[in-house]
Amino acid sequence: MALAPPFKMTPPVLLAPMAGITDLPFRNLVASFGAGLVVSEMVASHDMLNARPGSREKAELGLGTTGTAVQLAGREAAPMAEAARMVEGQGATVIDINMGCPAKKVTQGYSGSALMRTPDHALTLIDAVVRAVNIPVTLKTRLGWDEGMLNAPQIAQRAQEAGITMITIHGRTRCQFYKGRADWVAIRQVKDAVSIPVIANGDIVDAASAAEALTLSGADGVMAGRGVRGRPWLLAEIAHRLYGTPPPRIPSGSEFAQMVGAHYSAIIAFYGETLGVRVARKHLGWYMDTAGTPQDLRRAVLTADDSRSVLRLIAMACDACPEVAA
């Protein structure tokens, strides 16, 4: 699948932006296995412009690296445009606009999926960002705010007219949050409404669910999020099964332990010892879920409070489970 120049994405299998998860160390690891595009955590435009603590870590993209997008959120056109110019100037190659986050702290600020309630206002933000930069701008939304406002097709049409080059649809409404099942069939209405690529998102956890999502939605590609936790090779596995790309080498035993240890070390280097130890725990928990680590070792890994101890325990925990689920 080719997008409007200069943005080309092959294969059309994407890593979803996830708050507190898709930081630079994790995006680098996922990209090392193979992915069409990896998207940063959502970064609030005001936070970036005001250099709020934590915004650097979220926006740190390995800027200048292809296959990476920075996701911006906001409620005012001018700050969104200025933040977009800033990340473009730092080397970003793609900007994604967040109109899909369902979190109350975001929607109460009239950002994220709350923008679907005011499409005229949302389009002022989209237009401002597209006009501010010379790189592709994409959009991520949900089906609508609730069952009474399923306006994603109309918003997608207007976004395309404003210059958006790709749109990702999470197959739920905002009011569903992550409950129930993603409605991949409903995404087809968005696909039928536009000529730009449409990406299906929601409940894509393996190659089988990705294939079904493509069939039901008619989408041009898929985006996976929660299913990638603890399985950074998942996007590459989906791409192999659906698009014939080379199969990823899925690590097990000592190789799995080495991968987890390297990711852990990258987290510590990125955040520093004190914060890094805390940030890493969720990733370690997911890795140990994947490996089926015994509870005693799991507890030891997740309660250790210094990185050297954790690295020793990682080897023990992962080597104890030589078979890792793909």
d(CA 100, CA 204): 17
Residue 13: strand pairing partners: 222
CA distance 142 to 169: 5
Active-site annotation holder among 101, 175, 318, 321: 101
Q: Which long-range contacts (CB under 8 A, 24 or more apart) does 182-185 make?
A: 182/213, 183/143, 184/212, 184/213, 184/216, 184/217, 184/219, 185/216, 185/217
Q: Is 79 labelled a binding residue?
A: no
Residue labelled with tokens 């070792």: 297
Residue 19 among known ligand-binding residues: yes
3-class DSSP state of 15: strand
Flag whether 179 is marked binding.
Answer: no
DSSP string of 203-227?
Answer: S--SHHHHHHHHHHH--SEEEE-GG
Answer yes or no: is 17 a known binding residue.
yes
Question: Distance between CA 46 and CA 191 in Å, rounded?
Answer: 32
Q: Is 18 annotated as a binding residue?
A: yes
Determine what percent of the chain falls in helix, strand and coil, rounding each to the nearest 5.
50, 15, 35
> CA 250, CA 234: separation in Å to the nearest integer?
9
Q: Is 226 annotated as a binding residue?
A: yes
* Cα distance between residue 290 and residue 12, in whole Å: 25
Cα(254)–Cα(132) distance, integer angstroms: 48
Tokens of 235: 């996007």
Whole-angstrom distance, CA of residue 32 vs CA of residue 248: 10
Q: Report phi then psi at 19, rounded to 5.
A: -60, 130
Please say if 101 is a catalytic residue: yes
Mark the binding-site residues, compressed into ranges: 17-19, 71, 140, 170, 225-226
Mark the binding-site residues for FMN, compressed into ranges: 17-19, 71, 140, 170, 225-226
* Residues carrying an active site annotation: 101
